[in-house]
Amino acid sequence: MRLVRWDPFGTDEFFNRALPGLLGRWPRSMDGEPLEWTPSADISETDKEYLIRAELPAVRKEDVKVTVDQGMITIEGERKQQKEDRNEKFHRVESVYGSFTRSFALPENVNTDAIRCESRDGVLIVHLPKTQPSGQKVKQIKVE
For 40-90, how does the pLDDT look when each residue is reduced to its tens digit (9 = 90+)? 999 999 999 999 999 999 899 999 999 999 999 999 999 887 776 778 887
**What value does the mean pLDDT take over residues 23-37?**
52
Range from 10-14, 49-53, 55-59, 135-139 carrying the lowest mean pLDDT: 10-14
Q: Give the three-state DSSP class for 13.
A: helix
| Per-residue confidence (pLDDT) for residue 107, from 0 to 100 | 92
| Per-residue confidence (pLDDT) for residue 46, from 0 to 100 | 95
| Per-residue confidence (pLDDT) for residue 64, from 0 to 100 | 94
Which residues have a Cβ under 8 Å from the Cβ of 125 and sit 6 or more positions away? 51, 52, 53, 117, 118, 119
36-83+95-132 sits in which CATH class? mainly beta
**What value does the mean pLDDT take over residues 24-41?**
61
| b/e map 101-121, b = 16+ CB within 10 Å | ebebeeeeebeeeebebeeee
Sketch the domain layout of the chain as residue ranges: 36-83+95-132
As a whole-number percent, the residues of the chain with pLDDT over 90 amount to 45
| Per-residue confidence (pLDDT) for residue 25, from 0 to 100 | 45
| Per-residue confidence (pLDDT) for residue 37, from 0 to 100 | 77
Question: Could you tell me if residue 98 is left (phi over 0), alpha (psi between -120 and 50 degrees) or otherwise beta?
Answer: left
Strand partners, 78: 99
